[in-house]
Structure 1
């Protein structure tokens, strides 16, 4: 169901070895990729030091934005689950003392948003 989930906009766990190869040019020397989720073409990556959001843009996906957020900079986050008529779930992340969420990611009506939220909670709560 991985391909079908990806096409439907559902987040699926990504293969760590593939993500490591894709991100080897931006990963620091002592940094380790620990968990990753694929959302259509985009990625949400948890390393031992930061959250990396990868946004592949354009038809070919050649243009890529890498947004790095140190866990200590995340002040709060929320999830909004999908309802009967609203089929999208949403993850919102606030950085430092921002009033509005700095990051907002849409998910389809599935349970994967809970997995992403659990991972985010465990990484942000690390000392």
Structure 2
């Protein structure tokens, strides 16, 4: 999996992070609630206690589909 994080107002700073699916030990999904449809997906690597990746999604992305896809790759 390759994560691309565009930073800054101009988007000139970009961070690329690669994570092999086999390194992902678990996923966590946190939704904000009924009125605020933002969600946060956390990805844990190996036996770490804190997430290696924490990615926020707005309502334009179906975070449940993202979670389902990742679960199918790591199981």
TM over 0.5: yes
Q: Distance in 1 between matches of 2:62 and 2:35?
A: 19
Match for residue 55 of structure 2? Answer: 105
Q: After TM superposition, what 4+ stretches of structure 1 lie above 4 angstroms from structure 2?
A: none
Q: CA deviation at 1:110?
A: 5.5
Q: CA deviation at 1:80?
A: 1.7
Q: Distance in 2 between matches of 1:68 and 1:78?
A: 19
- Which protein has the bigger helix share? 1
Q: CA deviation at 1:111?
A: 6.0
User: Does the alignment pair 1:57 with 2:7?
Assistant: yes
Aligned length: 75
* TM-score where L is the length of structure 2: 0.85
Which residue of the other structure, out of 38, 42, 52, is the alignment partner of 1:88? 38
What does residue range 1-127 of structure 1 map to in structure 2 within 5 Å? Answer: 51-109=1-59, 112-125=62-75
Give the SS at the match of 1:91: strand
| 5+ long unaligned stretches in structure 1 | 1-50
Greater relative CO, 1 or 2 (CA 8 Å, sep 6+): 2
* TM-score where L is the length of structure 1: 0.53
Greater Rg over alpha carbons, structure:
1
Match for residue 16 of structure 1? Answer: none
Q: CA deviation at 1:60?
A: 1.8
Q: Distance in 2 between matches of 1:78 and 1:110?
A: 19
Deviations 1:68-109 (A, max 9, x none): 001111010021223135442110100111101111111124
